[in-house]
């Protein structure tokens, strides 16, 4: 008896998703609660578990289809796995094939006939050069990952069933590629493609990318955006991190980074300038006596913004642990819907990618976002002398309907003072 597999509940206000990838093919053995498919929603990827143990049956929905909650997408058959169609086909015609080969052995093709080719040779000829036979079996999510990270599929070793390339294989290859770029070597100019071909490929936007595009455009259309800049001397924070990072990691089990300092400093500044932590609701202003800090995290499918709840009540160690957990689960695609809802203020760290300066866009309905950038040595004047200091540009983008320029500057100065003298964070000054 077949058991239907339905789309699970995806969270509040989410009624549909896109079928990103089938993790199990018809005929595969599945265990109860084993993931058989991956769904892409507006915010995260969700795995669909098998309701029972048995054999994977029919795929009712295909990769790339939009499916609604409670819709049937597959069936699970009771019993052991059946042989795959590819394996079963030769067994049915084995005898006839042998006889046919014996009859034609030693003779060439008749008039008007084409020489017979082995199926595997034909497939190899049809596959694009440099990609191998497996290229035709790449799932949409794997293709997207290959395009996003610029990975040559011919260089990726597949770890999936029958050697298929998975999304994780592509991400691992991309990471190895980025490490190799650390010591760049001169590369010759790429040779023009045969016949001067110029190719295009259309890839459907993921549901997450569509949502990001819509929300950012809505923010530009509805808010009066303005960005104010300042810079901060990172000398004191770098010295503190260098001095205590080993003891910190030994005691708390997590590395001491810069984000812990900036989150705590931002919480102090938000308390001093509550408008930056507020939001507009109709013709009312909603103030918050807590700081739920949204932290922008890069994930394979796009930017996600999980929320550190009550960050103002946390220690630096608790903040670092939370951010580390978010980063790991963002790469694994296991963040939950509830973890990305709410938030009263956002911090986006473009410095990890080398950004010198930017004008970040607010995350509605929030009214402000803080952009952090790369640290670089620059000449500055201290006590009448020119010295070299590790400096970082700070950017605060805000909704000018709610936050005035004076409040934005006051916020940045308070943040700057806390970072340049981390003792202020300790004594809450």
Same-domain pairing of 152 and 227: no
Q: Give the per-residue pLDDT at 187.
A: 54
Q: What is the C-alpha to C-alpha distance for residues 49 and 30, in angstroms, rounded to an integer?
A: 10
Statement to judge: residues 213 and 174 lie in one domain: no
* pTM attached to this predicted model: 0.60
- Is 387 in a helix, a strand, or coil? strand
Domain-embedded: residue 319: yes
69 and 165 together in one domain = no
Regarding whether 405 and 328 lie in a shared domain, the answer is yes
CB atoms within 10 A of CB 84: 13
Give the pLDDT score at 11.
63
* C-alpha distance from residue 90 to each of 48, 82, 84, 87, 198 (Å): 33, 15, 11, 6, 40
Q: What is the CATH number of the domain that holds 219?
A: 3.30.559.10
The answer to whether residues 290 and 416 belong to one domain is yes
Q: Is 395 a domain residue?
A: yes
In this structure, the strands spanning 307-308 and 376-382 are unpaired
**Domain end call among 31, 53, 77:** 77
Do 413 and 290 reside in the same domain of the chain?
yes
Q: How many residues in the chain?
A: 429
In a domain, 24, yes or no: yes
Helix axis angle, 316-332 to 259-272, nearest 10°: 120
Upper half-sphere CA count for residue 53 (Cβ side, 13 Å) = 4
Contact between residue 94 and residue 40 where contact means Cβ atoms under 8 Å apart: no
36, part of any domain: yes
98 domain residue, yes or no: no
Q: Is the domain of 326 the same as that of 255?
A: yes
Q: Please say whether the beta carbons of 21 and 139 come within 8 A.
A: yes
Q: Are residues 37 and 157 in the same domain?
A: no
- Cα 373 from chain centroid? 20
Phi-psi region of 26 (alpha: psi -120 to 50; beta: other; left: phi over 0): beta
Nearest C-alpha neighbor of 287 from the set 402, 413, 395: 402
Whether residues 238 and 301 fall in one domain: yes
pLDDT at residue 265, rounded to an integer: 95
Provide the annotated active-site residues: 400, 404
Q: For residue 136, what pLDDT is reported?
A: 44
Which of 77, 94, 110 is where one domain is finished?
77
Residue 423's pLDDT is what? 87
Computed over its alpha carbons, how large is the radius of gyration of the chain?
Answer: 28
Residue 398 and residue 308 share a domain: yes
In a domain, 71, yes or no: yes
The CATH number linked to 160 is: 4.10.320.10
Do residues 371 and 358 touch, judged by C-beta distance below 8 A?
yes
In a domain, residue 69? The reply is: yes
- Please give the chain's pLDDT, 429 residues, in tens: 688 888 887 765 577 788 878 888 888 888 888 888 888 776 667 788 888 888 888 888 888 788 888 888 888 887 654 444 444 444 444 444 444 444 444 444 444 444 444 444 343 344 443 344 344 456 666 777 777 777 777 788 777 766 778 777 888 887 777 666 555 555 555 555 556 788 888 887 777 777 778 888 888 888 899 999 999 999 999 999 999 999 999 999 999 999 999 999 999 999 999 999 999 998 999 999 999 999 988 776 667 889 999 999 999 999 999 999 998 888 877 888 788 888 999 999 988 888 999 999 998 899 999 999 999 999 999 999 999 999 999 999 999 999 999 999 999 999 999 999 998 888 777
Whether residues 55 and 160 fall in one domain: no
**E-state strands within 34-124:** 35-40, 45-49, 54-59, 66-68, 72-77
CA gap 308, 316 in Å, rounded: 12
Q: Check whether residue 259 and residue 382 sit in a common domain.
A: yes
pLDDT on residue 263:
96
* Total tally of structural domains belonging to the chain: 3
Containing 208, the helix (H) or strand (E) segment is helix 207-222
d(CA 429, CA 422): 10
Q: Which domain holds residue 152?
A: 131-180
pLDDT of 137 reads 58
Across-strand partners of 284? 281
Task: Return the pLDDT at 97.
Answer: 44
Tokens at 173, concatenated: 């290859």
Residue 92 is assigned to a structural domain of this protein:
no
Burial readout 351-361 (b: 16 or more C-beta within 10 A, e: otherwise) = beeebeebebb
Q: What is the pLDDT of residue 181?
A: 56
């Amino acid at each position: 008896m077949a058991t239907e597999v339905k789309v699970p509940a995806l969270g509040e206000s989410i009624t549909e998703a896109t079928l990103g990838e089938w993790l199990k093919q018809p005929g595969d053995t599945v265990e109860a609660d084993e993931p058989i498919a991956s769904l892409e929603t507006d915010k995260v990827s969700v795995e669909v578990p098998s309701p029972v143990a048995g054999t994977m049956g029919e795929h009712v929905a295909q990769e790339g289809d939009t499916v609604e909650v409670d819709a049937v997408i597959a069936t699970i058959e009771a019993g052991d796995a059946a042989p795959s169609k590819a394996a079963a086909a030769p067994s049915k015609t084995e005898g006839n094939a042998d006889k046919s080969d014996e009859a034609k052995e030693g003779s060439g093709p008749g008039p008007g006939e084409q020489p017979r080719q082995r199926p595997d040779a034909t497939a190899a000829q049809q596959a694009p050069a440099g990609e191998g036979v497996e290229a035709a079996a790449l799932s949409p999510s794997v293709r997207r990952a290959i395009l996003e990270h610029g990975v040559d599929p011919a260089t990726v070793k597949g770890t999936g069933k029958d050697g298929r390339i998975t999304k994780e294989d592509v991400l691992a290859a991309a990471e190895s590629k980025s490490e190799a770029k650390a010591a760049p070597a001169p590369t010759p100019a790429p040779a023009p493609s045969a016949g001067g071909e110029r190719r295009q490929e259309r890839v459907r936007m993921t549901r997450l990318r569509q949502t990001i595009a819509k929300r950012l455009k809505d923010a530009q259309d509805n808010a009066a955006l303005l960005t104010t800049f300042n810079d901060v001397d990172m000398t004191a924070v770098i010295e503190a991190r260098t001095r205590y990072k080993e003891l910190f990691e030994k005691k708390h089990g997590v590395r001491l980074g810069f984000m812990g300092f900036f989150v705590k400093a931002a919480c102090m500044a938000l308390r001093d300038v509550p408008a930056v932590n507020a939001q507009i609701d109709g013709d009312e202003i909603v103030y918050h006596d807590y700081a739920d800090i949204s932290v922008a995290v890069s994930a394979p499918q796009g930017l996600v913004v999980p929320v550190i709840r009550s960050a103002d009540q946390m220690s630096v160690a608790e903040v670092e642990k939370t951010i580390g957990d978010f980063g790991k689960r963002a790469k694994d695609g296991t963040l939950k819907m509830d973890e990305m809802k709410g938030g009263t203020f956002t911090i986006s760290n473009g410095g990890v990618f080398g950004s010198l300066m930017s004008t970040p866009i607010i995350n509605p309905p929030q009214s402000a976002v803080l952009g952090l950038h790369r640290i670089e040595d620059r000449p500055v004047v201290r006590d009448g002398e020119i010295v070299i200091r590790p400096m970082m540009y700070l950017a605060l983008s805000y909704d000018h309907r709610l936050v005035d320029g004076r409040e934005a500057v006051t916020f940045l100065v308070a943040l700057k003072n806390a970072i340049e003298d981390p003792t202020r964070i300790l004594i809450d000054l």
